[in-house]
Chain A
């Protein structure tokens, strides 16, 4: 009993730390006076005004933001996972010249911060938009492609390490049976790699959901185009007019789906993150 009790104490203390901002966000979301720093623990609850403000503001359409975020994050995370899986498989199996350099380059290139490159990306998409409108500013497709450009990086490395642990005899056996390389990849390798693919997808999804700078540059600041991260910022932009109520309400709502995903995919996360590094 004692062996478990002290663990519970530690657990509760750490839980308080982990949930600290969340608790205050909940209070502020239900409070009417829209002040965060002076928030009382028990909110001054006069109604769901803050949530109303979220759903009924035509200049700040929260539900549209949610839809935008989900579409972009899902599509881009999918794209990143597919690209990463393809590249990682090739780097793992195909012993081609320059393989080592490619892998190192991929890791290093990703370290160049995209901050200043945001202006160049803006100009590129602007130019593309003059030819194909759907590839121009304010549209989601170019943003998804830009995130695709960030697919090759640390995640690729993790995937490659995982693929390395799948013995190549499996590939050989299938080839002897007459399967093409595409078939081996899609029907055999991918199913085996599901745990890590789920992890990569989840991490990419969260990263893209959080992304603010490039999203705001490409999508612009038109109400209906924004994502959750960009849109909620509008409530508290500028040091003098912060509107914490709707902000925290929106942030809370945005947390629920991700948290749910976490709860159900916990097992994958734990095993998946290190699955490439263990030498079985």
Chain B
């Protein structure tokens, strides 16, 4: 009996004690989600500002899985204040209601208009661009001493000659999916959604099986048969690094591996069948503001004073080898460096559509490429089916 009374007493004491302790409000704290591997770069680029303003920055790595539960955590008040995402997520982020407008924060003149378009939706800007990344063509200089191909004809003939003579296993090392094959797709007349001057105009129709593509579809089958592309649809970098393939489609993430493999290569744009360069997809990585953040003013101050500066853009992109979106920072990149070459090609690339419907696009489009590569159907048929299914799925 004595013990239970003691227990009740202790419990009440605890409750009273609690009443006097208020949970601390995180006044000068910002939580920022960045891509895994970028934490150090962001920390060092913002350390000065944080110290000067007495702000604690929690820079954490994102989980990399979908939207990392942001659409659940945000509304529950448990999400970050700011987070990184690639611009093609803008549409679905807006649709889910977890981001808030940054139209009165962004300085549009500091970025290329394509980048601003990428992070805008419904005439509102939702993110601050930080880096632009795109794929490019890498040429194995041991196999192709003349360097990057001047045009498509040169690429095609070099590749087919090397393959037919047995010196190479495949012409171009690449993944066979929408993102990687976009330049080739575009050069034969395909497109995802209609666009004008870089702005997407509608999702009511798609150009996955456009008239021009239908006419040129047989070319893709011819190139696959000539082993220009690898029908096993595996990205075998060793073919490229061991001199068994003259070309590879690479991204900034591949450079480390290429350098380690001790080989000479050159980065250039991907030539188009129609002349000039083919338009690959460019991706803008940007920072967004959580609508349910409790520290919006501080976050906006951070965006204005840190993220939108040339130095910030320069230092984080140097660290992760992407190309800065900030125009002033971009101007300082050495044109002949690898990053510079990526950037030069990226300048003429097309930002991926940022509408939420892109999820459906990838599904059908990638499926069509897989079917074509594995030999299940011809290129034209595969794309025709994908285009039709996509229209149905989008309710067109």
Contacts and interface: CB of A to CB of B under 8 A. Distances in A.
A216 B63 CA distance: 8
Interface in B207-240: 234-238
B66 to A, nearest CB: 11
Contacts of A217: 63
A126 B31 CA distance: 14
Contacts of A241: 253-254, 256-257
Nearest to B59: A222
Interface stretch (A30-38, A190-198, A201-209): A30-38
Interface stretch (B35-43, B194-202, B383-391): B35-43
A131 interface: yes
A222 B58 CA distance: 10
B69 A130 contact: no
B78 A131 contact: no
B37 A59 contact: yes
Interface stretch (A145-153, A154-162, A180-188, A231-239): A231-239
Interface string B41-77: 0000000000000000000111110000100110010
Interface residues of A, number: 26
Contacts of B73: 122-123, 126
B69 A59 contact: no
B62 A221 contact: yes
A241 B261 CA distance: 14
B61 A119 contact: no
Interface in A24-57: 32-35, 37-38
B367 interface: no
Contacts of B257: 34, 241
B3 interface: no
Contact of B36 (A38, A221, A240): A221
Contacts of B39: 59, 222-223
Given A35-B237, A222-B60, A119 B254 contact: no
Given A123-B78, A126-B78, A241-B254, A33 B261 contact: yes
B96 to A, nearest CB: 15
Interface in A119-152: 119, 122-123, 126, 130-131
Contact of B69 (A33, A58, A119): A119
B23 interface: yes
Given A221-B61, A221-B62, A222-B61, A37 B236 contact: yes
Nearest to B64: A237
Q: How large is the interface on B (under 10, 10 to 19, 20 to 34, 35 or more residues)?
A: 20 to 34
A102 to B, nearest CB: 27
Contacts, number: 63
A59 B42 CA distance: 13
A38 B241 CA distance: 12
Contacts of B260: 32-34
B77 to A, nearest CB: 9
B251 A240 contact: yes
B36 A234 contact: yes
B69 A240 contact: no
A64 to B, nearest CB: 15
A62 B310 CA distance: 35
B236 A38 contact: yes
A59 B37 CA distance: 7
B326 interface: no
Contact of B72 (A119, A131, A239): A119
Interface in B253-270: 253-254, 256-257, 260-261
A234 B37 CA distance: 9
A234 B63 CA distance: 10
A32 B251 CA distance: 21
B314 interface: no
Contacts of B253: 238, 240-241
A38 to B, nearest CB: 4
A126 B73 CA distance: 10
A9 B86 CA distance: 56
Given A130-B23, A221-B63, A122 B69 contact: yes
**In the complex, the 9 A-B pairs of residues with the closest C-beta atoms, listed nearest first:** A221-B61, A241-B253, A38-B238, A126-B78, A240-B253, A35-B238, A119-B69, A221-B63, A221-B36
9 contacts: A33-B238, A37-B234, A122-B69, A122-B78, A123-B78, A220-B63, A223-B39, A240-B251, A241-B253
